């Protein structure tokens, strides 16, 4: 179940996690490990509804490199590559 401490993971976040050559790979792996230790919930969905879902659930953080999340008022946990 999603809570306000949940973190949204965008497609770009998963790509950073899987691509060892990506400049954000180490950051993503480190953040992912912290999330697991903290027992926080990860959420993901299709692009069109991600902002709506995050707003409805009161989420503020996203594992993404997409600058649109920052423009929409969310905290982006990964830098653009």
Q: What is the pLDDT of residue 48?
A: 61
Per-residue pLDDT of the chain (81 residues; tens, 9 = 90+): 778 888 988 888 898 998 999 999 999 999 999 999 999 999 887 666 788 888 888 999 999 898 999 999 999 989 876
Spans of all domains in the chain? 7-76
Residue 57 has a pLDDT of: 85
What is this structure's pTM? 0.67
CA distance linking residue 57 with residue 30, whole number of Å:
25
pLDDT at 39: 93
- State the helix-helix crossing angle for 25-37 and 11-18, rounded to 10 degrees: 100
């Amino acid at each position: 179940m999603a809570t306000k401490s949940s973190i949204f993971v965008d497609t770009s976040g998963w790509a950073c996690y899987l691509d060892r050559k990506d400049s954000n790979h180490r950051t993503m792996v480190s953040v992912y490990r912290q999330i697991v230790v903290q027992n926080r919930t990860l959420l993901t969905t299709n692009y069109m509804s991600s902002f709506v879902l995050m707003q409805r659930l009161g989420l503020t953080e996203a594992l993404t490199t997409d600058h649109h999340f920052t423009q929409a008022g969310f905290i982006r946990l990964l830098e653009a590559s």
